[in-house]
Every structure is written in C-alpha cells, then in structure tokens.
Chain A
Amino acid sequence: MTADPSARLTRLNAEYARALDDDRLEDWPAFFTDPCLYSITSADNHRQGLPAGLMYADSRGMLQDRVAALRDANIYERQSYRHLVGLPAILGDKDGALLAETAFLVVRIMRDGRMDLFATGRYLDHIVEDSGHFKLRERIVVCDSNRIDTLLAIPL
C-alpha cells in the first residue's frame, strides 16, 4: 500500500462508491469510525451554518440502522446509483485527522430504466488511520442543490 494520503483516500472513495453502487449497503458502515458523523446537507444550509441533515448519523449503529430500514422497513421503487467520484483535495489536518474535499456526481437509475442526474456535490471528510486503514471519522455530504427528486433512499 502506498503511503500517499491522496492515493489512499482515492482508493477509499472508490471502494465506498462500489459498495453503494453494487448494493452492498451492509458494507457501508465499516467505512466509518465509531463514533462518527455522517450527514447529507445542501450547499445553502452548509453556507448558512444550518446543522440539519437529510440523513444524520453520529454512530456506526445509526448507519447500520439506516441500512436495516432500507432493507426491511422503507418502501421505494427499485433503484440504483452510479457514483463518479473526483480526485480528493487534501486540505490539511485537524485533531489527528486528515481534512479532504472530494467532488462527486450520482446518476440514479430507476427500475424502468429512467436515468437522472440525481445529485452532485462534495464530500467534506475527516479521515483517520484505524488499524492500518483509512476510516471516515466525519463525512459531510454537501449537495450542490437543495432539491431532491421524489425521495433519497440510498446513501450518497
């Protein structure tokens, strides 16, 4: 494994996107530390310092609960995502974590074949070393738009 943090984060993001896009949602919580912070918000809210998220989890258990609800409780038409994740910009470090920002684009594919540009934005990450792996201590998903078409089921 290379020690270059940018390359390691690129690998983490690629694996993260594959887990979501391949419907391996159960693998998704393990990309985070416990406790952690995962939140999906909009650029407007983020700019104004408004803290609410469309999804909000501050433990790995809450991430697991999100997956369990999607599997067993929530009703939504079958759909999948295709993430395209950009190259990370390493912004510095804080409290032992690497700070990074990475752009993403998500196409949503519905069961009838309809494809839409569903979301674009950036991941604002705090990344820490955990047993030789990069883990997300914090991932704030800042969507460029504050509009969500129909519903947001699968995490971004």
Chain B
Amino acid sequence: MSDRELAHAWPDAGLTRVPFWVYQDEANYRSELRRIFEGPTWSFVCLEADLPQPGDFRTTFVGEMPVIVVRAADGGIRAFENRCAHRGALISLDDGGTARHFQCVYHAWTYDLEGNLTGIAFEKGSNGRGGMPSSFSKAAHGPRKLRTTTLHGLVFASLCAETPAIEEYLGSAILGRIARVLGKPIRVLGRFVQILPNNWKLYVENVKDTYHASLLHAFFGTFRITRLTQGGGVLVSPDGAHHTSYTIDRADDRTSTAYREQGIRSERVGYRLADPRLLESVDEFGDGIQLQILTVFPGFVLQQIQNCLAVRQVLPKGPESMELHWTYFGFADDAPEMRTRRLRQLNLVGPAGYVSMEDGCVGGFVRRGAAAASDEVSVVNMGGEGTESAETRATEASVRGFWKAYRRYMDQ
C-alpha cells in the first residue's frame, strides 16, 4: 500500500519518527500480511529438531496463514497451507505429530506429505451417481505450497518465488552470528506461548532496541548481565532488516557509576541473590560474549543470554494483538550439569522471565498510551539518524533499520 492509498502519511523526518497509526490501522495491517509475511521474506516456522523423522510435522503460521511443516519421505522439509482445497477447512487440527498422509475431517479429502491432493472421498460418486466431474484435476487443486530452507537447524518458509536465498537474505555478518550459537544438534527443552496485547511491530522494535534493555529490565542492570557501560555493540544488516546486539563483560564496568549518577531505577546497589547458582554460567561459545540477541525480519528472534538459549517466533494476530511462541532449547550433547544450568537460567526469559517479563507488558503500555495519537509520532533518534552498525548500544540504529526495511517492503 503506497502513501497515496493510505488515510495517513509518514512525517518527513527520515527514519527518526514513527507515526502511531502504523500500529493501529486495520488496512495497513492487512497490507503487511500480504506485502511482508506473504511477500519476499523468510518466516521462521520450526526447528529441524522438531521434525526428526519423515512424516513428523508441526503446524504453525506464516503471518496469519496457517501452515503445515513436514519432513517428507526423501528427508526434505515441505511446507504448505493448512487449508483444504475443497472447502477451506484446516487440514490438520494438531500442533504436531507424525503422519503418513493428511486428511481433512470435513469431507475426508486427503493429501500426501508434499501437500498434493491425492484422494477425494466418493470421487466417482455412489452407485454410479454423483461424484466429481471427470474433468476435475486433483493436481490442479491443492493448498498453496511454500518454499522452505534450513539454516543451522532453523527452518524458514516463504510464500514468494522471488525471496532471495537465505544466505543472501541475511548477509554474511548475521549468518556468522547464527552459526556462532547453532553449531550443534539442538534439543528442545520446552515450548510456551505468550499473548501480547499489542501490534507485532512493537515487540520486534523492543527486541531490536538495545537502549532499553538495562533501563527497563532492572535485573539486567543490577547483575551486570548487560549494561550500556559494558563492551558490546549492535550490528545491523545493510538493508536494515536484521540485527544482532551483543554484550561483552569488561572489567572497567565493574566500577562504573554512570547509572547511579543518572538516578536510573535499574541500578540497585546491594541487591544480591540468595542462590547465586542462577547466574553461574560457562563461556560455551569461547568468545566472552555473554548476551547475543538476533532478529531476522520480519518476526524471528534467536537469543543467547549466558547459557539460556531460545528462539522466539512473532505471530501477528490483528492490529492490536500478537503471539510470541517461545522454544527453549539446549544441545543434544549437553551434560546433566549443563542441562540443569540451562533450566535454572531459563528463569531469565519467557513470560515469567526476570529480564523479559517487562517486554510482555511494555508494548501494551505503548498501545494504551498512544490510543488517541494515531497521527502523533514516536521518537527514534538515539545515536543519530542512520542504521549503521555501532560499537555502542546507546543507539536506536537497529530500530531505524527495521523501519528502513519495513517501508521498502510496504512501499511507504
């Protein structure tokens, strides 16, 4: 949807101002589903570890499109719309499982693991009467098929033939940051869904926003898991779409008083854990990076906070609601001590996470605060106006990067 078709316009302020109607407008939301989620982008759909054997499948969404992701007989991964070619009912009603074929419950039309329509109940009718016309072609009818690609155990899908290969889509810098974490076979530790009362973009911006982390999340700042005075930075892909932020512990931060001098709430002197095993971590990737948050446009997050690993899938559910699907994981070769360490550190993240609980509500605070402000703007000006990578996290470069990519996909 171009600006001309919209009831609203973007202010003439580059990427540093974002109008609130982009989080509210129903027509704009419908356009996002078409242009972004069903457009030339890659959506994360599941882990390869979710589909170990042929016939193993999971159901999920690309935007609002329900999809089935399945490992086919040849070992490859296929994805197709979870919509019967007959009347449009869901083909699979399960979150996942193992199937030899899929059959719609409504009229028992069946599909193979590739998403091809293979069977129609009473196709020839009964006693020589009824049935489908002989001209009906099963091959010409079926749910839409998506392209799939895998990357270090992640499975992405795209509905669009023009989406570039995942390596080109992400760029070498982001690829390297994914490879850094996902070098071994994954073992899933748990799955949870968090319902967020806000537009999906508010959550994606929040994840990309390196500025807020140690300010909103007092737990972060207090335990020096990430502070803006620590080493680290933010890496933004050249098109702005994807990002990685990272924190490296630095000895000189231990005595920094910058937070205290500014009276920032998140600095609490004297806060100590009764059981410090929560934060006992090992440098499992051997590079001193204790926190890495990575996004893939439009709605994928890979997170490493110490030894706490998770992927998050952002699913839009209307202009003012979304779901966040968490998959907590470790590696297949984790020793028992490492598994226990991960289970303890998972307290940091998720809907009850010490350092992520606030992200569940802050998008709702923006939605409620800006409810009557559709033509007002938010300010995204920290660190200037650009989207370049930076060796500081006191910047909103990666948030501006998101809007750079968003406006290109949306032609706004």
Contact = CB atoms under 8 A, between A and B. Distances in A.
Interface stretch (B11-19, B79-87, B167-175, B190-198): B190-198
Interface centre among A52, A146, A150 (most CB of B within 10 A): A52
Given A72-B271, A151-B357, A55 B216 contact: no
Interface string A52-72: 111111111110111011001
B339 interface: yes
Contacts of A76: 357-358, 361
Contacts of B271: 68, 72-73
Interface stretch (B101-109, B135-143, B296-304, B342-350): B342-350
B360 A150 contact: yes
Nearest to A62: B275
A77 interface: yes
B193 A58 contact: no
Contact of B278 (A65, A75, A77): A65
A152 interface: yes
Nearest to A42: B192
A63 to B, nearest CB: 9
Contacts, number: 121
Contact of B195 (A52, A74, A147): A147
Interface string A94-130: 0000000000000000000000000000000000000
B377 interface: no
Contact of A69 (B192, B350, B354): B354
B405 to A, nearest CB: 28
B192 A146 contact: yes
Contacts of A52: 189-190, 328, 342-343, 346
Contacts of B364: 150
A1 interface: no
B165 interface: no
B189 A151 contact: no
Contacts of A3: none
Contact of A150 (B194, B339, B343): B194
B188 interface: yes
Interface in B320-348: 323, 328, 339-340, 342-344, 346-347
A64 B274 contact: yes
Interface residues of B, number: 40
B351 interface: yes
Contacts of B361: 75-77, 150-151
Given A56-B343, A59-B275, A75-B216, A51 B358 contact: no
B287 interface: no
A41 B191 CA distance: 9
A72 B271 CA distance: 9
Nearest to B346: A52
Nearest to B274: A61
Interface of A: 40-42, 44-45, 50-62, 64-66, 68-69, 72-77, 146-153
18 contacts: A42-B192, A50-B190, A51-B339, A51-B343, A53-B343, A57-B347, A58-B340, A65-B275, A68-B274, A72-B271, A73-B271, A74-B358, A75-B216, A75-B358, A147-B193, A148-B351, A150-B197, A150-B364
